[in-house]
Structure 1
Amino acid sequence: MLNSSEVSYFTLSGYLDTGRLRYLYFSIAVCVYVCILAANVLLTVVICVNRSLHEPMYMFLCSLFVNELYGSTGLFPLLLVQILSDVHTVSAPLCFLQVFCIYTYGGIEILNLAVMSYDRYVAICFPLQYSSLMTPRKVFLLIALTWFVPSLAMVLLVSLSVRLQLCGNIIHRVYCGNYSIVKLSCSDTGINNIYGLVYTVISIMTPFVLILYTYIQILRICFSGSRRTRQKAISTCTPHLASIFNFCFGCCFQILQSRFELQRVPLVLGIFLSLYFLTFQPLLNPLLYGLKMNKIRDACKRLTGAGKVHAQTF
């Protein structure tokens, strides 16, 4: 038996022997990563440099875009290296770092979406009190908690995994997962399982209940309000709801795949779905909010237009 601190590397066995096709997959992965970086960086910059967007809703969006950059960076650099590599190994410290990044990303994402639903609830249900209820201090506090709570929880999770005694070092996935490491243990994993299960339930159910409550109240106001109120609610809530459904789909499959052996799922489909919430969510959110929300779309046009004018005059 080896303590996980004595294991120098893990082997990721989820990669297929693709031969020359590896260069095609590498090119596709690079394109996806570049698109994620470009879209999320652009919208983050747009929100930061435009004073007209320094409102609570856009500050939460900025936090969301930064998290997309954080989560995809926790996946893609190592994924790109592994696609081109013949030996799919990763050092133990880097593996645990990836576990921390990916799991923290998921926790921050769902909390951020819950905070955004609360913001929409206040804006639609209490429009006259919105400015007094969503003060800059409260917005900062909500964003800080959104990042701090999952980070602290993941520090504890990774600390529990590091202390385990392992009987192997083969992870049957294309990236490092905490439960995959726990399953390699020869020692008692009761604390790890209990903590992981409790955190998963709390981190999903608490934001989900908040999101459900806020949208029930929003729907109540919409049905009893004017046509203008309904149009405002639809225009601001549609991208948010689409983002929630997309993330929940990817997250649910990720949990099922990590906790249960889904033997009937084809290997290629399993790999695709395991990467879904780490690739399509960071790609989808900039499209949803950048195209749907007029203020962001207009600010993007002004920013890119200003850049073209500057280039021409130079």
Structure 2
Amino acid sequence: MFYHNKSKFHPATFFLIGIPGLEDIHMWISLPFCSVYLLALLGNATILLVIKAEQTLRGPMFYFLTILSIIDLALSTTSVPRMLGIFWFDAHEINFGACVAQMFLIHAFTGMEAEVLLAMAFDRYMAICAPLHYTASLTSQVLVGISMCIVICPVLLTLPMIYLIYRLPFCQAHIIAHSYCEHMGIAKLSCANIRINAIYGLFVVSVFVLNLVLIGISYVYILCAVFRLPSHDARLKALSTCGSHVGVICVFYIPSVFSFLTHRFGHKIPGYVHILVANLYLIIPPSLNPIIYGVRTKQIRERVLHMFTKK
């Protein structure tokens, strides 16, 4: 009889370094991280309260903005408190299961943010390119269906990462040179071949790129429709309705693209720069998104000013 004996070892805990090379100034680094996190909590909570309180803010754009704010709150809360625990209390150890759970949540919420930005691009496309069909097309049923896709697709895309991590043996290495758990950071500690993990990671990145391409195509049609408008004022008004969305896209995709390029090609860049960029990629969009929409969206701006100035 043939027995196939393949031992797999999952360590009880992983050790998160934080930001390698900058351990001596973790306390100073924690100050801007904490400030940005509090800003993200305050800003997104304010957006949610304003949309809930103002009955006129019930259109599809504000529906997607509500989803974006919820995702931003979840994404920042999944990552930043763990970082602050490392910076403030030297809480470097994390349970293996908790590490995999954090990996799953971070990747899933990041995917959801990409999906909701694509949905918002579709909303702007319908509002500008097909305004007569806007209300009839984006019904409550359609919005619920889009919302389900925003949640379900990233979850299904991220679930295989859990299996790909659990299948790996971890012989002795358990130190993660990062401040949070992410797929390839965990996989690189394995003493087995992680080629499948790397390939699947690239596949997930390709889905992000596809979303960005689809957003770009939608804006090509939007610009074509805008420049066909006869009035200069009408063109400016149409473009201004897209300004907030374009700003949020830049805030989300520019750090992610930079982080990807530095990891793949920036071999001469110090390791702490890679980790700092990866951290900023998780905390900057949740903090800036409500500011961008709060400043550029007249209804939200006026409601917020009214909340803070009324007697």
TM-based fold match above 0.5: yes
2:205 corresponding residue in structure 1: 200
Q: Report the Cα offset of residue 297 of structure 1.
A: 0.9
1:233 Cα offset (Å): 2.2
Q: Which amino acid aligns with 1:272?
A: L
1:55 aligned to which of 55, 59, 82: 59
8 Å Cα contact 2:20-2:271 kept in structure 1: no
> How far apart are the structure 1 equivalents of 2:167 and 2:257?
28
Verify: 1:39 aligned to 2:53, yes or no.
no
Which residue, out of 129, 135, 141, partners 2:133?
A: 129
Q: In structure 2, what is the equivalent of residue 312 of structure 1? A: none
Q: Distance in 2 between matches of 1:143 and 1:87?
A: 36
Moved more, 113-122 or 271-280: 271-280
Decide whether aligned partners of structure 1 residues 59 and 41 sit closer, same or farther in structure 2, where only a CA change above 3 A counts.
same
Inter-partner Cα distance in structure 1 for 2:170 and 2:7: 5
Partner of 1:230: 235
**CA RMSD across the alignment:** 2.1
State how far apart, in whole Å, the 2-side matches of 1:208 and 1:18 are. 36
| 1-structure distance, mates of 2:30, 2:188 | 30
- TM-aligned CA deviation for residue 212 of structure 1: 1.2
Deviation by residue 1:24-81 (Cα, 9 ceiling, x = unmatched) = 3333322221111010011012112222111100100111111111110111111011
Q: What is the percent sequence identity of the aligned residues?
A: 30
Aligned equivalents of 1:33 and 1:56: distance in 2?
27
User: 2: distance between equivalents of 1:269 and 1:186?
Assistant: 26
Unaligned runs of 5+ in 2: 1-5
Q: Matched residue pairs, number?
A: 303
3-state DSSP class of the match of 1:296? helix
TM-score w.r.t. structure 1 length?
0.89
User: Which whole-Å CA distance do the structure 2 matches of 1:247 and 1:81 have between them?
Assistant: 25
Alignment of 1:1-314 (within 5 A): 3=8, 6-13=10-17, 14-16=19-21, 18-19=23-24, 21-86=25-90, 88-167=92-171, 168-201=173-206, 203-226=207-230, 227-258=232-263, 260=264, 262-305=266-309, 309=311
> What TM-score, normalized by structure 2, do the two folds share?
0.90
Q: What displacement does 1:268 show?
A: 4.1
Cα drift, residue 288 of structure 1: 0.6
Contact 2:251 2:285 in 1 (8 A): yes
- For residues 2 and 39 of structure 1, the distance between their equivalents in structure 2, rounded to whole angstroms, comes to 49
Distance 2:170 2:65 in 1: 41
Q: Which runs of 5+ in 1 are unaligned?
A: 310-314
Q: Which amino acid aligns with 1:158?
A: I
